[in-house]
Structure 1
Amino acid sequence: MDCHAHVCGPATQFPYAQERIYTPPDATLENYQALLRMLGINRAVLVQPSVYGTDNRAMLAALKSDPHQFRGVAVISSDPKEVSDQKLSDLHAAGVRGLRCNIVDIADKSAGLPIEQLRNLAKRIQPFGWHLELLMHVNEYPDLAKTFEDFPVDLVFGHFGYAHAKHGVVDKGFQGLLDLMKHQHAWVKMTGPYRICDGDLPYVDMRPFNDAVIEANPNRLIWGSDWPHVMVKKQMPHDADLCDLLGEWVQDESLRNAILVNNPCILYDFPAFKS
């Protein structure tokens, strides 16, 4: 299962938000489904990209196209006056199983994490069994484990916690992430290694992070392609090479099966595959 991909466009049908910080080329549902067929992947999770803000229409249209193949992670306003409980129920019926919060692009970080805002969102989605996905640099938050130790819902951290490899696995924020995993509070997406290291394939600087999250809790790991690799300013990875890289980093077949099949079925509420 590919647990992290984005659908962008067509822009003529789903225009991008005016406040976006980049404009991607069209990366349509049809493009993505062709990639899934090429890779032999049956299920996927579509994550709302920042270029759409809180307008989830492109992602929801993709979910509607094949409810058995797709689940979604949406972005909504934190203001309950703008998103009713009925709207959340409608999103659940459409296949949404989590909310994404972009901490990286918060303009003013001097006040720290918007923890009360995140907690309030979590309380609203708790009845649906959803999780909160955080796009954040965990190295910027050395008290991460303490901050989220009693959080109402599971947390999912993208891109291995999005801490650049130069900080190392001993970084306090990354260690806090590992602690959350050990205590069943957090999941980690093994995605985007090219975003957090300086080299190209095989991203050797990221191998210690891979090994660390596996040691912390292999039952809290999922994998994703990060297609269509938006805002990549270095050598563009080929998705087949990323699949091969997972095979090199996770050579135990049962562990790969957990990361690619069993774990995401639990997190995203997919029916188990029939043996």
Structure 2
Amino acid sequence: MNRYLLMSATVCLLCFSALSALAPAAENAASPAGDVADSHAPAGVLADLRGVVSARQDGGDPRTLAKDAPVFVSDTLATGPADKGKVVFADDSVLEIGPDSEVRIAEFAYDTTDRDNFRQGIHMAKGLFRYATGKIVAHDPDRLHIESPLASIGIRGTTTDHLIQVREEITDGKPERIVETELHALRQSKSKTEVVVTHLSKPVSLKKEDAAASLVPKKPTVTRTLTEAEKKVFAEIPLSPAPFDPRPGSSLLGGGQ
């Protein structure tokens, strides 16, 4: 009898140990899919693309992204002259990348169990971009930080378009990227919509659809309305045109529809 009791106790102990080992995995599996709480989790996915979109971590080798591939913090994303990509972040914000462009995902955190840990940072280096805000900006617009070579951009609940034109030079035997002009535009107006573009430490506010801030190095910002030609350029960004994009139309840059 004692032998049977000992065997039963041993079996119970083994079952308890197995369940304890599985508990952390079950807890992780139960976490909401939208939560991005650790630095190794994807910030979003490449939800759509045309051509080739590459990603490179600081100091690492570039990798070619397939559709639905994860995009991570510190990834620098790049496209060629005929390529496009669409990144959907965990908070449902969207970054569309046009042809011949480069952008870095500087920071991202979207932990729905800790809203104090919401943050998003995007550094645009060159090319064409469209950005639509998500839940992080809906919670607190100050948690979003978008930067370009000449400006910082604050956005309150809207869709914006961005154009950064550069030229490449060789200086002392090393390649150097020179920024020529930038154009940042508010494309969709909603309640309390505002885009603040800060250049040379002076902010300007955009509050109406197609209002734009035109920038060049070392000169004050010029605010004006987008021209029809500029709207056609911005229509080259997305894979699927938005209602406010002119179409059909001739392509002014690579990657036309």
TM-score (norm 1): 0.30
Could you say which structure has the higher strand fraction?
2
TM-score (norm 2): 0.31
Higher relative contact order (CA 8 A, sep 6+): 1
Which protein shows a greater Rg?
2
